[in-house]
Amino acid sequence: MRILIIEDEKPAVEHLIECLNNLDETIKIIASTGSVKESVAWLQENPMPDLILMDIQLSDGLSFNIFSNSKIECPVIFITAYDKYLSEAFEYNSIDYLLKPIDEVKLGAAIKKYKSLQNYFVNNYSSLFEYLNNQNKKKSRIIVRKGLEFQTIKIEDIAYFFTEHKIVFLVDKNNKKFLSENNTLSELEEELDGNLFFRANRKYIVNANYINRFKPVDKSKINVELSVPVNEEIIVSQENAASFRKWINEI
């Protein structure tokens, strides 16, 4: 098992290496990096390890930033002195989350979990990576309020979302309007499939399947016309126009 350690405190690195050697003699520590920048450079220049032990707080920022600059296709065991990053960690290939100081027994349990997943996927790391990503699937349904009751609507049936007086609404394929349980469009945007939905502006998120046509307007903005009625024009800002064109070409 080839392990990369990402940790900026030398005593912590030495302790991890000692624990790993005690747990399994077949484990090979292939490298140790201590910053986001150094880790990104290493990952770009070397084969992917089997497993990464990653401290969250590094000398130049949170290790989550590594994922923005590198394609990590292996499981990660996060390590930190704080538990406030727990929910966020599981958005990034995480199979476990260990608090400092590292306990050898708990580290051993995390390594055992990795081996169990490895055996289950018959050493197919691409399938393991797919499995990890699927733990954070985007929403397939949205909860809406209808009077005093709640119901769910399939994502593919939603033509667009919009906000009005700081309240989020959605309009479905039958042009029916519902009150969404989401507090903001920004919160909703994080939960939606970016291949299907685009944040046109501060007020609208549109579904690609309900875009009839679009055209440029003044100063490189884009007017988007949907297949369901909308009370006003949906205008993609000049700043987002290039991203919109790229998005619409790739879906």
pLDDT (tens digit, 9 = 90+) per residue, 81-116?
A: 877 777 677 677 788 888 888 989 999 999 988 888
Query: Considering only CA atoms, which of 239, 237, 230 is closest in space to residue 164?
Result: 230
Q: Does residue 126 carry a pLDDT above 60?
A: no
Mean pLDDT of 219-225: 91
- What is the chain's mean pLDDT, rounded? 86
Separation between Cα atoms, residue 90 and residue 95, nearest integer Å: 7
- The set of long-range contacts for 206-212, using a CB threshold of 8 Å and a minimum separation of 24, is 206/159, 206/160, 206/234, 207/156, 207/158, 207/159, 207/160, 208/247, 208/248, 208/251, 209/156, 210/159, 210/160, 210/173, 211/248
Q: φ, ψ for residue 197 (rounded to 5)?
A: -120, 145
Q: What secondary structure letter does DSSP report for 213?
A: E
According to DSSP, the residues that pair with 167 across neighbouring strands are 164
Kindly report which listed range (69-78, 100-109, 114-123) carries the lowest average pLDDT score. Answer: 114-123
Cα angle 56-194-6, degrees, rounded to a multiple of 5: 15
Residue pair 4/30 in contact by the 8 Å Cβ criterion: yes
Q: Which two tokens stand for residue 9?
A: 């405190």
